Chain A
Amino acid sequence: MEASTSAPPPPTAAISTRGNGQVRDAAGKYGLIALLLVLPVAYGIKDLSEDGNLVGIANNLFAGLSNGSILALIAVGYTLVYGIIELINFAHGEVFMIGSFTAVSFWGTIGLGLTTGTLPLILGLLLVLVVAMLTCGVLNVMIERVAYRPLRTAPKLAPLITAVGMSFVLQNVGLLWIGGSPASVDDLIHAQQNVFTFLGIRVDRADLMAFAVTIPLVAALTWFVAKARLGKAMRATAQDPEAARLMGINVDTTISLTFLIGGMMAGAAGLIYALYQTTIWYFQGFNAGLLAFTAAVMGGIGNLRGAVIGGLIIGCIQQISDNRINTSWTPAIVFAYLILIMVFRPQGLIGEETREAG
């Protein structure tokens, strides 16, 4: 571990932080916020001048939040893993995709369908949630065991390459599982059915379901990392694996645990995605994975709160772009944000929590 993590940042970075660092820092932060506000403000003004109200953009933002909660759950997995072993777990998006596929297959197996009553449906979906989370958690642990652990002492780029490799392997597993084109699944919860409308904002069943799953999970995760004994072990390992080992923490187990938790969150996101979009596709993991990674970097990689906030923001950007510009331009817009953030504010909105950041 030492060999890969003790490399100091490139000398050019030191030059940039010298001098009026605080001014630069503030400029970077507010510059990023201003940049993020460009799309919503532009379309808000457009709505105001065309319709005389902000209902259109408000609807976009609300849908963006519920959509972003899925991304937030995935982003948490990226950020936890990066925090602890400084690896971009490139296969994480594919774990999320496998989560969707598992959920759909399993609810087919236990016989959930359009005619299932409300109570059995809720109980059934809870069971599906548990199964999807466990499957993805175990899958993620297995990936770490096979592809990353043997390379823990290798140069830092080696595990990144295996991560890309694993991502392709899993993508092809998905391809063989469901087939090459997007498959539509039963709209179990009648996702588009309106529950109520508040100030012109449509609140659909899908939105409520996304929040109902995400909020408790994120709350539980935050509690776990902050308070539980194993969560403390995770943070200790993230700060300094060698010292953590000396304090009697089993570093390998802790890393496995991190992958387990990250995978479980991705599995939950997979179920929500399937219910929300009612379409699954073997390529969904690649797209969502990169969006979620952008979210994690935006919030500040290694930072749990940052990943959640970043996920919600990226969700809004994605929604506005999908709805107002064109779905096919969305990746280009999000990647442009990713590049700008990485170059001008690599520590993200809230600040990264990695060993290199100190």
Chain B
Amino acid sequence: MTRFGGFRIPIWANRALAAAVIVVAIVFPLFFQQGDNWVDDMTIALAYVVMALGLNIVVGYAGLLDLGYVAFFAIGAYTTGWFMSGFFSDANVHVFVSEFTKNLPGVHFNFLLVVVVAIVLCAIAGIIIGLPTLRLRGDYIAIVTLAFGEIIRVFAIEGDTIKLPFGEDNHLTAGRQGISPIDKIDLPFFEQFTSLNLRAWYWLALALVLIVLFVNIRLRDSRLGRAWIALREDEVAAASMGVPLVKTKLLAYAVGAGFGGMSGAFLGSYFNTVNADQFQFGFSIFILAMIILGGLGSVWGVVVGAVALSLINYTLIPDVLNDAPNKLFGLDFNLTEVNYGIFGFLLVLMMVLRPEGLLPERRRQLELRETAQDAELVEVAHP
């Protein structure tokens, strides 16, 4: 049962709405040219939805504030960089790739394999990042994850000076120059994707979103999902009711990270470059702002928040409002320069005015309201 304000929406209407949204999402690119900007923006938006849903598991369900989510974007993207390009030029490995790619030097794996590798690598990284945070209090977790994200960024930037032990002149990353080009995605039974026809990319991204959505919803209603929520609401109570803290927390990190890696692998191929400057701290905040805008823990809220923020970032700010400061106030700057400032402002605004998000999850809303009411009672008792 979902609620909008005071209304209760029956479960069939809810399902019909979801089905209608999915159908609209599927036919959406047919209304545009194959290479239209809207298809491009929506593809990126869908990839961000995958990431936001992943972060939602860590922050929204399990209540562990992760400020270094960009690390998993980086690891996922570098997986495509390593296994789907000519970066290791003296190697000559081809696994399930098209005829055209077979003639290129380097390591070339099929995208499906790369996604699996990316998910596994990120899940391992998630556990490695999660392990030291197990005993920490909430705000320290945030800083430790941030620190991990920054360390990975430094490795990405300086990776071109780190020699790998195999091959003649192989490095960890290509630093700021970027690993480019990356193989286009090539799925079995389909033609290899091209940068001219963006519809195929869009539909693949949509398929990823649907998979992740399904997993997200099923996990939320599972034993594990209930354990996460119990952990978020009261760690001590959860532990004394028999929730295994270590396992539950690490699974949250691993699953959340895996989705980040999945999206990162997709974006690596879609952007056609893996470049150290893509992995700034600001990106973690960008994704965090999506789930806070939509509503922490609320699956549909997160989807709406992610689509809304990435459209704001890639369409509204650069194309529509870019010269607004100049036109309206005569100020000498473009709005794109301060996009992260806008997201920061949004974070403050949401947390102060509507911390439960635009489409709140009911339980979370009660939680937030409850603590406020408790405190009010204290205020009344001790004026």
A interface list, Cβ under 8 A from B: 1-4, 7-13, 16, 86-88, 146-147, 150-151, 153-162, 164-169, 171-173, 175-176, 180, 242, 245-246, 286, 290, 293, 297, 326, 328-329, 331-332, 335-336, 338-339, 342-343, 346, 356
In the bound complex, how far is the Cα of B333 from the Cα of A12, in angstroms? 51
Interface: B375 (CB within 8 A): yes
Interface: B368 (CB within 8 A): yes
- The answer to whether B338 and A175 touch across the interface, beta carbons within 8 angstroms, is yes
Expressed in whole angstroms, the minimum distance between the Cβ of A299 and any Cβ of chain B is 15
Residues of chain A contacted by B142 (CB below 8 angstroms): 88, 157, 160
- The answer to whether B138 and A157 touch across the interface, beta carbons within 8 angstroms, is yes
Expressed in whole angstroms, the minimum distance between the Cβ of A62 and any Cβ of chain B is 27
- The answer to whether B65 and A157 touch across the interface, beta carbons within 8 angstroms, is yes
Q: Which of B99-107, B203-211, B280-288, B305-313 has 4 or more CB atoms under 8 Å from chain A?
A: B280-288
Q: A2-B375, A161-B351, A165-B351 are in contact. Are A342 and B154 (CB under 8 A)?
A: no
Name the interface size band of chain B: 35 or more
- The answer to whether B235 and A10 touch across the interface, beta carbons within 8 angstroms, is yes
- The answer to whether B144 and A343 touch across the interface, beta carbons within 8 angstroms, is yes
In the bound complex, how far is the Cα of B347 from the Cα of A147, in angstroms? 10
Residues of chain A contacted by B347 (CB below 8 angstroms): 161-162, 164-165, 168
- The answer to whether A154 and B340 touch across the interface, beta carbons within 8 angstroms, is no
Interface: B337 (CB within 8 A): yes
- The answer to whether B338 and A176 touch across the interface, beta carbons within 8 angstroms, is yes
Query: Per-residue CB proximity of B343-380 to A under 8 Å, as 1/0?
Result: 11111100110010000000000011001101110100
Number of A-B residue pairs having CB atoms within 8 Å of each other in the complex = 172
| New A-B contacts (20) at CB < 8 Å, excluding given A147-B352, A157-B139 | A9-B137, A10-B236, A10-B245, A11-B239, A12-B135, A13-B135, A146-B352, A153-B375, A161-B288, A162-B351, A165-B289, A168-B341, A168-B343, A168-B344, A171-B340, A245-B382, A328-B157, A332-B150, A336-B151, A346-B140
The 8 closest A-B pairs by CB, nearest first: A172-B341, A168-B344, A165-B347, A153-B375, A335-B147, A332-B154, A165-B348, A343-B132
Give chain B's interface secondary structure class. Answer: helix
Interface: B155 (CB within 8 A): yes
Residues of chain B contacted by A11 (CB below 8 angstroms): 235-236, 239-240, 245
Residues of chain B contacted by A168 (CB below 8 angstroms): 282, 285, 340-341, 343-345, 347
Partner of B65, one of A1, A13, A160, A297: A160
